[in-house]
Amino acid sequence: MLQKLQSETLKVLFENLSYNGGFPVINPATEQELIRLKTSTLEDIDAQIEACKRAQVEWAKLSAKSRSVFLKKWFQLLVEHTEDIAIIITLEQGKPLVESRGEVAYGASFVEWFSEEAKRAYGEVIPAPAADRRLSTIKQPVGVCAAITPWNFPKAMITRKAAPALAAGCGMIIKPSELTPLTALAVMELAHQAGIPKDLLSIVVSEQAAEFGVVLSTDPRIKKISFTGSTRVGKILMKQASDTVKAVSMELGGNAPFIVFEDADLDAAVNGLIASKFRNAGQTCVCTNRLYVHKNVKEAFVAKLLNKMAKLKVANGLAADSNLGPVITMAAKHRLEAVIDQALQEGAKLLNQPKKRSGRFVEPVVLDHVEQSMAIVQQELFGPVLPIITFEHDEQVLMMANDTEYGLACYFYTDSLQRIVTFSEGLEYGMVGVNEGIISTEVAPFGGIKESGVGREGAKQGMDEYLETKYICLGGLS
């Protein structure tokens, strides 16, 4: 791996971190070991929490403008190291290099955005109900925070949490996924180079995810935990966090419907669907999970879709022409194979002829004759598998689209203003893409309802997750 990096800083970092007795980080494309890392210990994490507590007090005393300057410097370093970070993401996570570069830019955009928002943590003056009082609110940092992040966006999920935390005056301890710790370590190193104190923003790496999760969600010195990952683990962390009544932000699973109405621009819808479904080999929580297409346009739509899909190349993400890299683990591949087999047994039909691939590569699969009641419709697929359900009436498709415990993202394509309003308001999701398949941006609130999560990331709402509102009643005036 080291030979592929340009930056001396990052080369030295990984040379120092390489530890033969540690746990391996595997390249999912080649299944080869990239490096072995020393695992953090419970003593390490205890010391880091204590150090963060002290550092946070000093950090919170800085002016918002000073904190903003540190974040801007971090942003610059992230941008300057785009190519190296992109290579690290592709090596440990598998996505095509062009997508990794996109993730570096997307991840850095949160640092830039919150460097600006740092200066806008406004309180309010409230008209008092009595003449002898003056009422106001101020915003204050929640304190020491913890973040647990997933492998599918090893950079962006860190900056989307750390940047608002630091902007607000909080400290943070981050535990990245054990599958993709290298990007996190690089991003952290650049934060420290930008002058952000090591004690204030630190990282723990370990394969013992559950054990570290207990510490980060129960230690009373930690006031907030922010998690991105599965709904299953999110529920565990929320339960654990309840003993100390910690604030929580949870970005959990999704089951995004993608609806194509008969009045849709079919070419635009195909492009939107391909971007939404096959990005990161289908491994994002906002990826389309199920396609609903009106029966009158189904044939035309599917023909266009298959035509475009035939051009998608599944290959090592380092190859210039790769559109889909591998899935993250063999277990993920086997889970997808089992889901497809079950759908076929329940009556679904393959619409394309995906080649069997070795290693962790999975060719895109399209399944027709899928019914709403099938297991494949009710679970988050997290892979390049697309089930198609045909519909006839608007009320029917709205009901089917909402028929899930998840509520993260959804998409629909139509030309009708009436439908745009009815479905934007009627779909029970935190985010709606109307005639658009890619909707994430640092300036808009990202997050879900129902079992997809609690809280919002990015946008002005993202800062509030790391701020407390304090009400001050000034009385006894004449």
Nearest approach in angstroms of CB 219 to ligand ADP is: 13
> 81 and 172 in contact (C-beta within 8 Å)?
no
Which residue is catalytic, options 52, 145, 170, 285? 285
> Is the Cβ of residue 218 or residue 372 nearer to ligand ADP in the bound state?
218
Nearest alpha carbon to residue 280 among 192, 191, 180:
180
Strands 288-294 and 256-260, by their bridges, are parallel
For Cα atoms 50, 165, 463, give the angle at the middle one, nearest 5 degrees: 150
Q: Which stretch binds ligand ADP (CB under 6 A): 109-117, 229-237, 294-302, 346-354?
A: 229-237
Q: What stretches of 281-345 show up as alpha helix (H) in DSSP?
A: 298-309, 330-345
> Is the Cβ of residue 166 or residue 225 nearer to ligand ADP in the bound state?
225
Q: Which stretch binds ligand ADP (CB under 6 A): 18-26, 42-50, 147-155, 389-397?
A: 147-155
Q: What is the rounded radius of gyration, in angstroms, for the C-alpha atoms of the chain?
A: 23
Nearest approach in angstroms of CB 78 to ligand ADP is: 21
Dist. CA 413–CA 420, nearest whole Å: 9
> 241 and 220 in contact (C-beta within 8 Å)?
no
Nearest approach in angstroms of CB 58 to ligand ADP is: 29
- Does position 233 interact with ligand ADP (CB under 6 A)? The reply is yes
- What residues numbered 72-111 form the site for ligand ADP, per CB under 6 A? none
Count of CB atoms situated within 10 Å of the CB of 369:
17
Of 51, 86, 88, 148, the one binding ligand ADP (CB under 6 A) is 148
> Is the Cβ of residue 177 or residue 316 nearer to ligand ADP in the bound state?
177
Of 125, 210, 245, 320, the one binding ligand ADP (CB under 6 A) is 210
Nearest approach in angstroms of CB 180 to ligand ADP is: 9
Dist. CA 110–CA 4, nearest whole Å: 27
- Strand segments (E) across 231-332: 247-251, 256-260, 288-294
Q: Which residues partner with 368 through β-bridges? A: 349
> Is the Cβ of residue 276 or residue 283 nearer to ligand ADP in the bound state?
283
Nearest alpha carbon to residue 179 among 149, 203, 211:
149
Per the annotation, the verdict on 285 as an active-site residue is yes
* Window 170-209: contact mask with ligand ADP (x via CB under 6 A): -----x-xx------------------------------x
Count of CB atoms situated within 10 Å of the CB of 69:
15
- Does position 213 interact with ligand ADP (CB under 6 A)? The reply is yes
Nearest approach in angstroms of CB 212 to ligand ADP is: 7
Nearest approach in angstroms of CB 413 to ligand ADP is: 28
Q: Which stretch binds ligand ADP (CB under 6 A): 230-238, 261-269, 441-449, 457-465?
A: 230-238
- Does position 230 interact with ligand ADP (CB under 6 A)? The reply is yes
Nearest approach in angstroms of CB 285 to ligand ADP is: 8
> 80 and 108 in contact (C-beta within 8 Å)?
no
Query: Alpha carbon of 31 to those of 14, 100, 283: distances in Å?
Result: 19, 19, 18
Nearest approach in angstroms of CB 213 to ligand ADP is: 2
Dist. CA 466–CA 49, nearest whole Å: 17
Count of CB atoms situated within 10 Å of the CB of 374:
21
Say how many residues touch ligand ADP, by CB under 6 A. 15
Dist. CA 120–CA 462, nearest whole Å: 12
Q: Kindly list the strands in the beta sheet with 256-260, ordered across the sheet, starting from the edge strand earlier in the chain.
A: 349-350, 365-368, 385-391, 288-294, 256-260, 409-413, 431-434
**Residue number, nearest CB to ligand ADP:** 213
- Strand segments (E) across 224-283: 224-228, 247-251, 256-260
Which residue is catalytic, options 251, 380, 442, 465? 251
> Is the Cβ of residue 18 or residue 230 nearer to ligand ADP in the bound state?
230
Per the annotation, the verdict on 145 as an active-site residue is no
- Does position 451 interact with ligand ADP (CB under 6 A)? The reply is no
> Is the Cβ of residue 175 or residue 294 nearer to ligand ADP in the bound state?
175
Count of CB atoms situated within 10 Å of the CB of 16:
8
Which token pair is 21? 């007795």
- Does position 383 interact with ligand ADP (CB under 6 A)? The reply is no
- What residues numbered 236-295 form the site for ligand ADP, per CB under 6 A? 236-237
Enumerate the active-site residues. 251, 285
Chain contacts with ligand ADP (rule: CB under 6 A): 148-151, 175, 177-178, 209-210, 213, 229-230, 233, 236-237
